[in-house]
Amino acid sequence: MRGGYEPQTLFADRAKERKTQTAMTDARSGIAHGAAIAQYTLLEALKNRVLFIALIFTFIGVFAASFVGDVAVIEHKRVEIAVLASSYRFCAVFVMMILVASTIVREFNDKCLELYLSLPISRAMYFAGKLTGFYIAGFALAAVFSAALLLYAPAAAVGAWFASLSCELILMATVTFFCVLTFNQQITSSLTAALFFYLLCRVTDSIVLISKGEILLHTTGSAVIGFVVETLSFVLPSLERFTRSDWLMYSDSAAAFGALPLIVLQTVVYCALVGAAALIDFSRKNI
Amino acid sequence: MPWFLWALLFFAFAAQIGFSRSVLPPPEAKAEELHAPPGDAALRLSALGEPPVLARLLMLSLQGYDNQKGVSVPLRNLDYAVVGEWLERIVALDERAEYPHFSAAKIYGVVNDDNRRRLMIEWVWRQFVKAPNERWEWMAFATNLAHYVLKDDKLALAMAVELREKTDPEKVPAWTRQLEIFFRENANEYEAAAEMLSRQLLDGEITDPHEFVFAYDRLEGMLEEMTKRGEIQSREHLARELRKLESLREKYLAQFEELQKGN
B31 inside domain? no
B248 inside domain? no
Span A26-49, pLDDT tens digits: 666 767 888 888 898 899 888 888
Judge whether residue A191 has pLDDT over 70: yes
Tell me what the mean pLDDT of segment A81-91 comes to. 94
CA distance A280 to B16: 52
> Per the CB < 8 Å rule, is B50 touching A86?
yes
* Domain tally, chain B: 1
Give me the pLDDT at residue B248, please: 66
B78 inside domain? yes
The segments of chain B whose pLDDT lies below 50 read none
Question: In the A/B pair of chains, how many CB contacts fall below 8 A?
Answer: 71
Q: Please choose, from the candidates B86, B160, B84, B145, the residue with its C-alpha nearest in 3D space to the C-alpha of residue B114.
A: B145
Give me the pLDDT at residue B34, please: 81
pLDDT over 90 percentage in chain A: 53
Q: Give B60's contacts in chain A (Cβ within 8 Å).
A: 68, 71-72, 79
Give me the pLDDT at residue A1, please: 42
> Per the CB < 8 Å rule, is A82 touching B57?
yes
Judge whether residue A205 has pLDDT over 90: no
- Select from A75, A210, A246 the Cβ nearest to the Cβ of B98: A75
B44 inside domain? yes
**CA-angle at A122, arms to A117 and A128, nearest 5°:** 105
Average pLDDT of chain A to the nearest whole number: 87
Interchain CB contact of B150 with A (< 8 Å): no
B48 inside domain? yes
- Select from A72, A241, A244 the Cβ nearest to the Cβ of B60: A72
Nearest CA to CA, how far is A259 from chain B (Å)? 15
What residue numbers bound the domain in which B79 lies? 38-150
SS3 content of chain B, % helix, strand, coil (to 5): 75, 0, 25
Evaluate whether A118 touches A25 at the Cβ level (below 8 Å).
Answer: no
> Per the CB < 8 Å rule, is B56 touching A79?
yes
Tell me what the mean pLDDT of segment A224-233 comes to. 81
End-to-end CA gap in chain A: 52
Domain boundaries, chain A: 28-284
Give me the pLDDT at residue B19, please: 83
- In chain B the beta strands, taken as DSSP E runs, fall at 67-68, 71-72
Give me the pLDDT at residue A27, please: 63
pLDDT tier at A10 (50, 70, 90 boundaries)?
Answer: low
Give me the pLDDT at residue B71, please: 59
Q: Give per-residue burial for A81-111: e unless 16+ CB within 10 Å, then b.
A: bbbbbbbbbebbbbbbbbbbbebbbebbeee
DSSP string, chain A: --TT--HHHHHHHHHHHHHHHHHHHHHHHHHHHHHHHHHHHHHHHHHTTHHHHHHHHHHHHHHHHHHHHHH-SS-HHHHHHHHHHHHHHHHHHHHHHHHHHHHHHHHHHTTHHHHHHHSS--HHHHHHHHHHHHHHHHHHHHHHHHHHHTTTS-HHHHHHHHHHHHHHHHHHHHHHHHHHHHTTT-HHHHHHHHHHHHHHHHHHHHHHHHHHSSSS--SHHHHHHHHHHHHHHHHS--GGGSS-HHHHHTT-HHHHHHHHHHHHHHHHHHHHHHHHHHHHHHHHS--
Tell me what the mean pLDDT of segment A150-178 comes to. 96
B104 inside domain? yes
Span A236-268, pLDDT tens digits: 998 999 999 999 999 999 999 999 999 999 999
Please give the ipTM for the structure prediction: 0.79
Which of 33-62 (B) contact A at CB < 8 A? Answer: 39, 41, 44-45, 47-50, 52-53, 56-57, 59-60
B113 inside domain? yes
Q: Please choose, from the candidates A270, A276, A55, A84, the residue with its C-alpha nearest in 3D space to the C-alpha of residue A169.
A: A270
Give me the pLDDT at residue A119, please: 80
Chain A residue with minimum CA distance to B102: A74
> Per the CB < 8 Å rule, is A203 touching B49?
yes
Q: Give B53's contacts in chain A (Cβ within 8 Å).
A: 82-83, 85-86, 245
B134 inside domain? yes
Q: Give A210's contacts in chain B (Cβ within 8 Å).
A: 41, 44-45
Give me the pLDDT at residue A2, please: 46
